[in-house]
Amino acid sequence: MGVTLRDNTQLSIGPDTELILNEFLFAPAQGQFRLDARIFQGTLNYVSGVMARLKPQAVTVTTPTDIIGIRGTHFVLTVNKE
């Protein structure tokens, strides 16, 4: 499944993926940005949008073992179910 968020962030989610988008706030006029996602299993292909360029520290993806702070523009993540 593919999802394009309001700031043009692209999330491509593979089969059997469990992902929660906890928070998405994109209000550039107010300087408010936040993207917080959690992946429990499966595959995520992430391509950053405007938010990651304007305020990269506002974007995080949490896995069962770590938190990924987004500083680049593209990554693929696979989480195996334990």
- Identify the helix (H) or strand (E) that includes residue 51: helix 50-54
pTM: 0.86
- Structure tokens belonging to residue 10: 């692209």
Domain that holds residue 26: 2-79
CA distance linking residue 6 with residue 65, whole number of Å? 28
Domain count, the chain: 1
Q: How far apart are CA 10 and CA 59, in angstroms?
A: 13
- Specify the residue for token string 């988008």: 21
Which pLDDT belongs to residue 68? 75
Distances (CA, A) of 43 to 2, 4, 6, 46, 79: 12, 16, 22, 10, 6
Beta bridge partners of 67: 62
Structure tokens, 38 = 């959690």
Q: pLDDT tens-digit profile of 29-78?
A: 999 999 999 999 999 999 999 998 999 999 999 999 887 777 668 989 99
Show the tokens assigned to 63: 């896995």
